[in-house]
């Protein structure tokens, strides 16, 4: 009986009322499900044999009910394709659900996003096949809160080779995106007695809010042409959250003297440096600036992510931790979500060890450099606009002349023209003057769509000049 019950190919939750007869009850239940919208047009119903077995009815009863609903126009049947819900007139169905509003802009110039249309699908599929071909059964069981050893080992080698990070696999924790990693760190720091944390001003407001929700009070660390003002850190500050290789949003790297000042502060006070290396792979005019972690691995947490190289949807990031933080962060990770999805970790590890990841990044770097040059060429025709942070990253900060259109006005006009980008003022934490500017990304749009996006943007700039 168990084998017979489990042999139906399709499940259908339906509860016929036997009060008026078995066939009548089944017909009524199906009509209600169809007209109420629970079974939309095109839904394939179970076979008469399968549904009869599941409901404890005779096959003839189910066949007769199906035939009746076919006669009423509620079902259609075709040899070889089974019985399906008919495409009913609008009045016979439940009110249609409103279509979701489109989320993608017509022209995407938002900063900090990669070109997901260039996701390395073939390489990812090939790596997935290799992983699944050789995967042991335990891969499909519970995961390790610290992350798969295969990925941690691959990352330790890769980060040392490409970013100058000093680590071993046992000091790496895999997280479900940088957002989660930042929250875990903030919570661990707050639980250990840290009360205040310095954050860059301007800086990423979403991540600043994550630090604040962790229970830490944030102090604004001004940013100038040499990066964050690390000389303003004090004994009272327990941690500093920075983007030293390519400051977000200004694009400036942290000056070598300030790097030394920052590390000296951390060693003398016991403070912690949290290094967000969000786009460290993308440097165009000279050799990449090495990770700060390589200077002070005992005082720096290095944060990396696949969201800027492959895509945010993967939800894969990593924390390279000083030894004393590994176990506290692991406990926090277990409490958050036990562990990060496993198969994606194994596929990424395969991409790194086979160097397909390197090849993808090199190709992306060339594409983004071409788009950056195209953007700079267009900006040259607007001498009042000044570009910053152009040697690296996925966006350029353009500051606005004081006598020109305001940032709010330009953003509103861009939105009306279907151009999505970001303004500078919302990223300030404590500055009263709040300089105005536009963050123009050159990665989110596809190679084909990017020129049209620039045309739309510079059309707005020309019309508002």
211 part of a folded domain: yes
84 part of a folded domain: yes
pTM of the entire predicted model: 0.88
User: Are residues 285 and 233 both part of a single domain?
Assistant: yes
CB contact set of 218 (below 8 Å; sequence gap of 6+): 196, 197, 198, 199, 208, 211, 212, 429
CB contact set of 265 (below 8 Å; sequence gap of 6+): 230, 233, 240, 271
CB contact set of 253 (below 8 Å; sequence gap of 6+): 227, 244, 245, 246, 247, 289, 392
152 part of a folded domain: yes
pLDDT at position 20: 78
Domain boundary among 324, 341, 358: 358
Dihedral sign for Cα 164, 165, 167, 172, please. Answer: negative
Structure tokens at 333: 């990770």
User: Are residues 84 and 225 both part of a single domain?
Assistant: no
User: Are residues 307 and 412 both part of a single domain?
Assistant: no
pLDDT at position 79: 82
d(CA 112, CA 389): 13
CATH number at residue 377: 3.90.1150.10
User: Are residues 259 and 321 both part of a single domain?
Assistant: yes
User: Are residues 365 and 353 both part of a single domain?
Assistant: no
pLDDT at position 135: 94
Supply the range of the domain harboring residue 277: 119-358
Our count of domains for the chain comes to 3
User: Are residues 388 and 323 both part of a single domain?
Assistant: no
User: Are residues 374 and 338 both part of a single domain?
Assistant: no
Question: Which one-letter DSSP state was computed for residue 397?
Answer: E
108 part of a folded domain: no
User: Are residues 79 and 178 both part of a single domain?
Assistant: no
pLDDT at position 199: 97
User: Are residues 307 and 372 both part of a single domain?
Assistant: no
pLDDT at position 4: 39
Dump the DSSP string for 267-283: HHH--EEEEE-TTTT-B
343 part of a folded domain: yes
pLDDT at position 116: 96
Domain boundary among 304, 327, 358: 358
**What is the CB-side half-sphere exposure of residue 387 using CA atoms within 13 A?**
20
Domain boundary among 46, 76, 92: 92
pLDDT at position 21: 87
User: Are residues 229 and 254 both part of a single domain?
Assistant: yes
CATH number at residue 77: 1.10.10.10
113 part of a folded domain: no
298 part of a folded domain: yes
CATH number at residue 148: 3.40.640.10
User: Are residues 177 and 313 both part of a single domain?
Assistant: yes
* Spans of the chain, pLDDT less than 50: 1-8, 91
106 part of a folded domain: no
User: Are residues 194 and 337 both part of a single domain?
Assistant: yes
pLDDT at position 7: 45
- High-pLDDT (> 90) share of the chain, %: 82
């Amino acid at each position: 009986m168990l084998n017979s019950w489990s042999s139906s190919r399709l499940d259908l939750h339906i509860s016929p009322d036997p009060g008026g007869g078995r066939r009548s009850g089944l017909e009524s239940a199906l009509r209600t499900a169809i007209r109420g919208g629970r079974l939309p047009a095109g839904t394939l119903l179970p076979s008469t044999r399968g549904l009869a077995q599941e409901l404890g009815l005779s096959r003839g009863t189910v066949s007769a009910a199906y035939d009746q609903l076919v006669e009423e126009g509620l079902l259609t049947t075709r040899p070889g394709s089974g019985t399906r819900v008919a495409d009913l007139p609008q009045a016979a169905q439940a009110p249609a659900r409103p279509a979701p509003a489109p989320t993608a802009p017509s022209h995407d110039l938002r900063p900090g996003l990669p070109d997901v249309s260039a996701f390395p699908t073939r390489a990812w599929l090939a790596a997935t096949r290799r992983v699944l071909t050789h995967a042991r059964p335990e891969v499909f069981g519970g995961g390790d809160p610290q992350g798969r050893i295969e990925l941690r080992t691959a990352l330790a080698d890769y980060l040392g080779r490409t970013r100058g990070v000093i680590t071993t696999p046992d000091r790496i924790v895999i997280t479900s995106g940088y957002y989660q990693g930042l929250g875990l760190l903030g919570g661990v720091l707050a639980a250990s007695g840290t009360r205040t944390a310095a954050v860059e001003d301007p800086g990423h407001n979403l991540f600043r809010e994550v630090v604040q929700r962790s229970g830490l009070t944030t102090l604004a660390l001004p940013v100038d042409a040499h990066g964050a003002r690390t000389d303003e850190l004090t004994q009272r500050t327990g941690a500093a959250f920075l983007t030293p290789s390519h400051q977000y949003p200004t694009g400036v790297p942290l000056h070598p003297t300030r790097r030394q000042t920052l590390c000296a502060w951390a060693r003398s006070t016991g403070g912690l440096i949290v290094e967000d290396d969000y786009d460290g792979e993308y440097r165009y005019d000279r050799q990449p600036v090495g990770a700060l972690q390589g200077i002070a691995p005992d005082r720096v947490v290095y944060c990396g992510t696949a969201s800027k190289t492959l895509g945010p949807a993967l939800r894969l990031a990593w924390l390279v931790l000083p030894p004393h933080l590994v176990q506290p962060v692991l406990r926090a990770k277990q409490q958050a979500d036990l562990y990060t999805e496993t198969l994606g970790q194994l596929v990424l590890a395969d991409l790194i060890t086979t160097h397909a990841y390197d090849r993808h990044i090199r190709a992306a770097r060339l594409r983004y450099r071409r788009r950056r040059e195209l953007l700079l060429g267009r900006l040259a025709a607007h001498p009042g606009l000044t570009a910053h942070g152009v040697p690296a990253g996925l966006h350029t900060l353009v500051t606005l002349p004081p006598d020109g259109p305001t940032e709010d006005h330009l953003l509103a006009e861009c939105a009306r023209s279907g151009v999505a980008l970001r303004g500078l003022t919302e990223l300030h934490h404590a500055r009263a003057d709040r300089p105005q500017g536009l963050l123009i990304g050159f990665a989110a749009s596809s190679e084909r769509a990017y020129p049209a996006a620039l045309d739309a943007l510079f059309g707005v700039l020309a019309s508002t000049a």
